[in-house]
Amino acid sequence: MKPTFDIECLQNYTLFAFMDEDEKVVKIQMKGNGGVLSKKDAVRLDRQLRLGTIITFNGIHYDMVITAGALAGLTCYELYEMSQRIIVDNTPHWKMYRGRIKELVGVDHIDIKEVAPDVMVSLKLYGARLMSQHLWEYEVDWDKPLKKKDMKGLKKYCQNDLILTWDLYRKIEPSIVLREKMGKQYNEELRSKSDAQIAEAVIIGELGGGKKAKVPKSIT
């Protein structure tokens, strides 16, 4: 199973959404500025993350970080502040894993953003290039509390992103398969890496590992 995964994060509302290959969608919600995941929803979210290989677009830098925060007990507004640090301040994802916010362990995850062929291209633009059946944008002020009347539209918007993620994954699946084979050969996790990142990982691995690996004089 390879469900796509996406998050919408506002001051008073956070949506975690998963879609399987049959386009069945599972939604887990947090509501209110001070709203947190209930114990039941935390278990559901963790279970959904482990049902198969999770497919995201920019998940390493965003979705997985926000999810870790939610599972650590952060409120909607605290997650919104995390989101702003990532999107507006360009804070690296690894700097977000501090204190009680721990990187998720044991989740089989592929982030297709770096694997996709172009740089700094939005998911919507990829969808247009792939001639996806639906390209749906949503007019909402992301920096203000979500109004109840806008909740239905936001869910539809999120579901469209899940579909676009799946369309892009299917297009680049041969590249993912190649990365899986190379990963086994070099004992490295390469499925979410760009071509250049793979080259770096392989060369460092061939030199014995570590960023400070020295090139033997015998190697040209």
Question: What integer pLDDT is reported at residue 123 of this predicted model?
Answer: 85
Say if residue 213's pLDDT is above 80: no
What's the N-to-C CA distance of the chain in angstroms? 44
Whole-number CA gyration radius for the chain: 19
Question: What integer pLDDT is reported at residue 141 of this predicted model?
Answer: 82
Cβ neighbours for 24, distance < 8 A, ≥ 6 positions apart = none
Question: What integer pLDDT is reported at residue 103 of this predicted model?
Answer: 93
Cβ neighbours for 34, distance < 8 A, ≥ 6 positions apart = 75, 76, 77
Share of the chain above pLDDT 70, in %: 95
Question: What integer pLDDT is reported at residue 212 of this predicted model?
Answer: 65
CA 219 – CA 76 distance, rounded (Å): 54
Say if residue 214's pLDDT is above 80: no
Tell me which of 134 and 193 has the higher pLDDT.
193
Buried b (16+ CB within 10 A) or exposed e, 34-64: ebbbeeeebeebeebbeeeebbbbbbbbbbb
Say if residue 87's pLDDT is above 70: yes
Tell me which of 137 and 24 has the higher pLDDT.
24
Return the domain boundaries, the chain.
Answer: 4-172
Among 40, 61, 22, residue whose Cα is nearest residue 163: 22
Question: What integer pLDDT is reported at residue 201 of this predicted model?
Answer: 84
Greatest CA separation found in the chain? Answer: 68
- Tell me the C-alpha to C-alpha distance, in Å, between residue 80 and each of 7, 34, 125: 11, 11, 25
Select, from the ranges 71-75, 195-199, 201-205, the one with the highest average predicted confidence (pLDDT). Answer: 71-75
**What 8-state DSSP symbol labels residue 10?**
E
Mean pLDDT, the chain, integer: 90
CA 188 – CA 209 distance, rounded (Å): 11
Question: What integer pLDDT is reported at residue 44 of this predicted model?
Answer: 96
Q: Summarize pLDDT for 96-154 with one digit per residue, the tens.
A: 999 899 999 999 999 999 998 877 788 888 888 888 777 777 777 888 999 999 999 99
CA 95 – CA 108 distance, rounded (Å): 21
